[in-house]
Chain A
């Protein structure tokens, strides 16, 4: 087994070029891609999350680490898919209809990906129909919605209602977050979970999958 530290460090410090090169080198040497994920990348993103939570890392550091992880994952993902390896879970994530503010959503998406989830990022201003289509077509088992504005929060409820109407509400766990969102609001609209920060969202998603 190769030393996991160099790839771990490359992800932790946000060195995408290095992360990609180390991953390619390891794969060329016949290292199991899952070992790279489990021994280097997931622990590195766990540490990124820990540092973010502890105010040692901030948004720029988190985003460059996520970029490094993605550079490595781009090489690994096709190999895992061809072997039939399943992700921890499949998340359809987006900002709700009417909301174009995506940085919080992007932080959550990065950490979920770092936590072993397959993340289907639907982007911003996502209508309920798009969430529904992703649940049906891509077998997403988590719908994660973000809103920054108090005026777009109601779109979360609309989306949950639409998931019910489409008959897929029971197939997915619905997680919500964003600056104006509260646990009380999440409960009122019938969401399955709420986190006030990106790190907590990963733990929440893992819990939701087990439930």
Chain B
């Protein structure tokens, strides 16, 4: 069974030969080809090469176009910092929407307009062309609160929830419109799955999450599904207090960071929700051994039940030993179904 068939069958509840394996690699994938991370973020050919090499070497079932959180913000005009060997980052004290009034004039960037979003789409097209018959090709968009934080500055956005709720709604609406447009172009380019990163959602607690964030995540996920896309929701950090609402979104895959117990996610999201990951990427994946990683995976799998995809809770650190990364796919392949 080819990896792509394996994952698609698994998502649809059909028989597969063994568990799928879809861990997030970015800097780790870049390291595999000896490139500078700056180039991985800015040159789609390098990203594609790193992803393909990594998936083939370790037996992963997919490739992914994510490199950093600043693609959309950069195209909006937000000041960003490039580093040779780490991800592109937003410069918060020069946040694009430090002045809220600027939102009124902010235009949705064209995802095919030659900017960083376009670079992501070119990566997707190249991945689709080179490995799209064999592997799942996953695109990526920022979620409403993550992207709002990129544009407004995360510290300021956190106080906006108390100071100016209507501005937050306006900002989230802008973001969802932009991300849906970006997602549509990625699906057109051949994305099998659209990953949604909404890291800051884990910072706000259940009340603000449900009242302010969830409705926009729902718009985004339902919008992508209505385009025929599949979704992978990833919220970095501790999501324990929002697991139930997250489950109500019915994302195709919930990629769970390590701070929320996966058994609780299963209980709150129901038996059909596909869960992914949940290993601590630092203490388990990087600092562990193949033996301890397989044991932790077995425990995650037991707590999550059958609808589980192997992965780490977040990005695999760049300095993880190869045998540790290989242990992920080895576990997946050992669980025949």
Q: What number of B residues sit within 8 Å (CB to CB) of A?
A: 31
Residue B91, interface by CB 8 Å: yes
Contacts A58-B208, A63-B159; is A151 near B92 (CB within 8 Å)?
no
Chain B interface: which of A22-30, A96-104, A136-144?
Answer: A96-104
Residues of B contacting A151 in the complex (Cβ-Cβ under 8 angstroms): 27, 85-86, 318
Chain B binding site: helix, strand, loop or mixed by DSSP? helix
Q: How far apart sit A187 and B68, CA to CA, in the bound complex (Å)?
A: 30
Within residues 236 to 290 of chain B, which ones have a CB less than 8 A from any CB in chain A? 237, 240-241, 282-283, 286-287
B203 CB contact (under 8 Å) in A58, A102, A152: A58
Q: How far apart sit A34 and B90, CA to CA, in the bound complex (Å)?
A: 40
A60 CB contact (under 8 Å) in B204, B240, B282, B286: B204
Closest to A57 in B: B205
Residues of B contacting A55 in the complex (Cβ-Cβ under 8 angstroms): 205, 240-241
Contact B317 A103 (CB under 8 A): no
In angstroms, how far is the closest chain A Cβ from the Cβ of B40?
A: 13
Contact B283 A102 (CB under 8 A): no
Residue A169, interface by CB 8 Å: no
Contact A14 B162 (CB under 8 A): yes
Residues of A contacting B283 in the complex (Cβ-Cβ under 8 angstroms): 182
Within residues 138 to 158 of chain B, which ones have a CB less than 8 A from any CB in chain A? 154-155, 158
Q: How far apart sit A119 and B273, CA to CA, in the bound complex (Å)?
A: 46
Residues of B contacting A182 in the complex (Cβ-Cβ under 8 angstroms): 282-283, 287
Residue A7, interface by CB 8 Å: no
In angstroms, how far is the closest chain B Cβ from the Cβ of A114?
A: 16
Within residues 77 to 92 of chain B, which ones have a CB less than 8 A from any CB in chain A? 81, 83, 85-87, 89-92
Closest to A106 in B: B155
A: contact size bracket: 20 to 34
Closest to A58 in B: B205
Contact A150 B317 (CB under 8 A): yes
Contact A150 B155 (CB under 8 A): no
B208 CB contact (under 8 Å) in A60, A67, A98, A150: A60
Residues of B contacting A149 in the complex (Cβ-Cβ under 8 angstroms): 86-87
Residue B58, interface by CB 8 Å: no
Residues of A contacting B237 in the complex (Cβ-Cβ under 8 angstroms): 179
Q: How far apart sit A136 and B98, CA to CA, in the bound complex (Å)?
A: 34
Closest to A154 in B: B319
Contact A67 B159 (CB under 8 A): yes
A63 CB contact (under 8 Å) in B86, B155, B205: B155
Closest to B85 in A: A151
Residue A11, interface by CB 8 Å: no
Residue B161, interface by CB 8 Å: yes
Q: How far apart sit A197 and B286, CA to CA, in the bound complex (Å)?
A: 21
Contact A60 B92 (CB under 8 A): no
Q: How far apart sit A98 and B155, CA to CA, in the bound complex (Å)?
A: 19
Residue A59, interface by CB 8 Å: yes
Contact B287 A184 (CB under 8 A): yes
- Contacts beyond the supplied A150-B318, A151-B85, A152-B86: 11 A-B pairs with Cβ under 8 Å: A55-B205, A60-B162, A60-B205, A100-B81, A101-B89, A106-B155, A149-B86, A151-B27, A151-B318, A179-B282, A182-B287
Name B residues whose Cβ lies closer than 8 Å to a Cβ of A: 27, 81, 83, 85-87, 89-93, 154-155, 158-159, 161-162, 203-205, 208, 237, 240-241, 282-283, 286-287, 317-319
- Give 16 pairs: A residue, B residue, CB < 8 Å, sorted on A: A14-B162, A59-B204, A60-B158, A60-B162, A60-B204, A61-B205, A100-B90, A100-B91, A102-B155, A103-B155, A103-B203, A124-B92, A149-B86, A150-B282, A180-B282, A184-B287
